């Protein structure tokens, strides 16, 4: 005969969550390995130009960055909307590039100094006059290996 | 009776790892650092006299970009999409035309053997101060693409492999046949329209 179990408590069995940390850790390690730390906080905003013949910058420790773009909204009042150069965490004049490169290079291991690459991260709307000035400064500082940062173009 | 070890409450472990995960998500960026690699010419020492190196006109491909991003190749208006083909024709000079660079014959060793190549060709890129960076990069990109394609074709012909899969040594030998010679003048104010 069927027994009517009305008075019995129907509690949900506790879900075993002991493996949850492991799963999260796996996610964490995945993200740690595929992403890279932000180099600096951007004070200029830029949109990378597009190109097809791209090469990856291999060793992070050998790369130095020069950012070129218009100041972000919070700095616009102070610095205007003209194209500006950012080195590390601060706005810089183009005349400071040479010193910056020399300083950065002397901080490197001697065997690696010749391998230093300068990545120019410039907005695609930038006028070439600015870029040419930067290139001249880099030439003068003997930083001849450069890379124009760009994103992969999929179509015209 | 054996003493029971009290279990450590690990329920907050998930929260801790979540926090770590979120921290990494915020501080890292997904974008890979890639770009168009170029090499700048060494600076001219101030005491050195600037010599006008005489380049035969047929060895020179002049690419000019004006302030409104129009392209002029050898004095003719051109779309940037045609530039790669034009550059390839210029670098190869298959039919030994008199208006393309002079061909030199040289022994590149096995398996290339005797090959004709344009040893002295130079591609000169000149841009205006007001040229847009994207337009300039497009031109650079097409020119680099022309070289890359030629080298890749050569790699397929002799080694049946893509250029990027070859050893560094072989790549260097192919580079000798197609030496990359892109010269950049300092920007001038050519003015637009």
Lowest-confidence region among A45-59, A75-89, B31-45: B31-45
User: Testing the interface with B: which of A30, A46, A54, A143 to mutate, by most B Cβ within 10 A?
Assistant: A54
Confidence category of residue A134, pLDDT binned at 50, 70, 90: very high
Cβ partners under 8 Å of residue A41, min gap 6: A89
Distance from CA of B144 to the nearest CA of A (A): 7
The predicted structure's pLDDT at residue B193: 39
List the beta bridge partners of residue A26: none
Q: Is 80 exceeded by the pLDDT of residue B48?
A: no
Measured CA distances, A129 to A125, B105, B144 (Å): 12, 41, 22
pTM of the model: 0.78
Question: If we measure between CA atoms, which residue out of B27, B38, B80 comes closest to residue A28?
Answer: B27
Q: How does the average pLDDT of chain B come out, rounded?
A: 83
Tell me the two tokens of residue B85.
Answer: 């083909």
Domain membership of residue A35 (yes or no) is no
The predicted structure's pLDDT at residue A1: 57
Please indicate whether, in this complex, the C-beta atoms of A148 and B140 are within 8 angstroms of each other: yes
- Number of inter-chain CB pairs under 8 A, A vs B: 155
Confidence category of residue A38, pLDDT binned at 50, 70, 90: low
Number of domains composing chain A: 1
Distance from CA of A33 to the nearest CA of B (A): 10
Q: Is 50 exceeded by the pLDDT of residue B13?
A: yes
Q: Give me the domain span that covers residue A82.
A: 44-152
Q: Which residues of B touch A150 (CB under 8 A)?
A: 34-36, 137, 141
Task: Determine contact: B134 vs chain A, CB below 8 A.
Answer: yes
Name the residue in chain B with its Cα closest to that of A143.
B40
Query: What pLDDT digit, counting tens, does each position of A61-113 carry?
Result: 888 999 999 999 888 888 888 899 999 888 999 899 999 999 999 998 888 88
Confidence category of residue B192, pLDDT binned at 50, 70, 90: very low
Assess contact for B116 and B105: CB atoms under 8 A: yes
Assess contact for A130 and A120: CB atoms under 8 A: no
Question: If we measure between CA atoms, which residue out of B97, B94, B84 comes closest to residue B145?
Answer: B84
Residues 113-132 of B with CB under 8 A from A: 127-132
Q: For residue A56, give the CATH number of its domain.
A: 3.30.420
The predicted structure's pLDDT at residue A118: 92
Confidence category of residue B49, pLDDT binned at 50, 70, 90: low
Strands A117-122 and A63-71: what pairing? Answer: parallel
Domain membership of residue A8 (yes or no) is no
Q: How does the average pLDDT of chain A come out, rounded?
A: 85
Question: If we measure between CA atoms, which residue out of A76, A6, A111, A52 comes closest to residue B35?
Answer: A52
Q: Which of A52, A128, A148 sits opposite B127 (nearest CB)?
A: A128
Q: Which residues of A touch B37 (CB under 8 A)?
A: 55, 117, 145-147
The predicted structure's pLDDT at residue B177: 87
3-state secondary structure B97-122: CCCCCCCEEEECCCCCCEEEECCCCE
Lowest-confidence region among A44-58, B7-21, B56-70: B7-21
Task: Determine contact: B164 vs chain A, CB below 8 A.
Answer: no
Please indicate whether, in this complex, the C-beta atoms of A31 and B28 are within 8 angstroms of each other: yes
Q: Is 50 exceeded by the pLDDT of residue B148?
A: yes
CA distance B79 to A29: 47
Domain membership of residue A59 (yes or no) is yes
């Amino acid at each position: 005969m069927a027994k009517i179990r009305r008075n019995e408590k129907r509690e949900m069995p506790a879900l075993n969550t002991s493996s949850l940390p492991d799963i999260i850790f796996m996610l964490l390690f995945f993200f740690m390995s595929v992403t890279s730390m932000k180099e600096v906080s951007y004070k200029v905003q830029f949109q990378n130009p597009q190109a097809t013949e791209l090469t990856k910058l291999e060793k992070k420790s050998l790369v130095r960055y020069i950012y070129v773009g218009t100041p972000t909204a919070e700095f616009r009042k102070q610095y205007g909307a003209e194209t500006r150069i950012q080195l590390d965490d601060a706005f810089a004049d183009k005349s400071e590039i040479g010193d910056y490169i020399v300083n950065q290079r002397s901080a490197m291991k001697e065997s690696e100094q010749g391998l230093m690459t300068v990545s120019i991260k410039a907005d695609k709307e930038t006028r070439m006059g600015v870029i040419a000035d930067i290139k001249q400064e880099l030439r003068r500082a003997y930083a001849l290996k450069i890379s124009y940062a760009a994103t992969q173009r999929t179509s015209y | 009776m054996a003493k029971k070890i009290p279990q450590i409450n690990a329920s907050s472990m998930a929260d801790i790892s979540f926090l770590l995960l979120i921290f990494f998500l915020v501080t890292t960026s997904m974008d890979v650092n890639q770009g168009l690699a170029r090499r700048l010419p060494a600076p001219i020492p101030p005491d050195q006299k600037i010599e006008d190196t005489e380049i035969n006109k047929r060895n020179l491909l002049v690419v000019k970009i004006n302030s409104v991003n129009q392209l002029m190749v050898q004095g003719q208006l051109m779309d940037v999409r045609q530039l790669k083909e034009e550059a390839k024709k210029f670098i190869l000079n298959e039919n030994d035309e008199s208006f393309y660079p002079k061909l030199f014959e040289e022994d590149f060793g096995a398996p290339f053997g005797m090959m004709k190549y344009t040893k002295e060709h130079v591609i000169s890129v000149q841009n205006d101060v007001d040229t847009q960076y994207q337009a300039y990069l497009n031109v650079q990109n097409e020119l680099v693409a022309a070289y890359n394609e030629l080298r890749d074709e050569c790699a397929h012909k002799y080694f049946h492999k893509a250029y990027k899969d070859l050893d560094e040594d072989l790549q260097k030998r192919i580079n000798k046949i197609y030496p990359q010679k892109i010269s950049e003048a300092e920007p001038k104010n050519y003015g637009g329209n």
